Amino acid sequence: MNDVSREPVSISPWPLMLIAAAILMITMGARQSMGLFVSPLNTATGLGIVAISFVLAVGQFTWGAAAQLGRVVPCS
């Protein structure tokens, strides 16, 4: 038998933390910046602020509900 002791490899946590931060910035930015587009959508389409806000709210609700389905529905 070959009894070679190996030292554990130390992996830096920074790449994982930077990737997680980038994913968080992208997803939160997409959800939080929708209000910036209400006025241009209102001007371009003439739907009205109430209708556009309602559609954005339904989209946010759907996004949150779909995120919860990932916990309930098994992958296999």
Question: What are 17-61's pLDDT values in tens digits?
Answer: 999 999 988 888 877 888 888 899 999 999 999 999 999 899 889
Examine the pLDDT at 76 and tell me if it is beyond 80: no
Taking residues 67-75, what's their average pLDDT?
Answer: 71
Total domain count, the chain: 1
Residue 5 falls within a domain, yes or no? Answer: no
Residue 8 lies in a domain: no
Instruction: Let me know if residue 7 belongs to a domain.
Output: no
Using pLDDT thresholds of 50, 70 and 90, give the confidence band for residue 1.
low
Judge whether 66 lies within some domain. yes
Question: In this structure, are residues 60 and 53 in contact, taking their beta carbons and an 8 Å threshold?
Answer: no
With 0.85 as the threshold, say if the pTM is over it.
no
Minimal CA–CA distance to 62: which of 54, 50, 73? 54
Q: How confident is the model at residue 67 (pLDDT cuts 50, 70, 90)?
A: confident
In a domain, 31, yes or no: yes
Residue 49 belongs to what domain range? 14-72
**DSSP line for 45-72:** H---HHHHHHHHHHHHHHHHHHHHHHHH
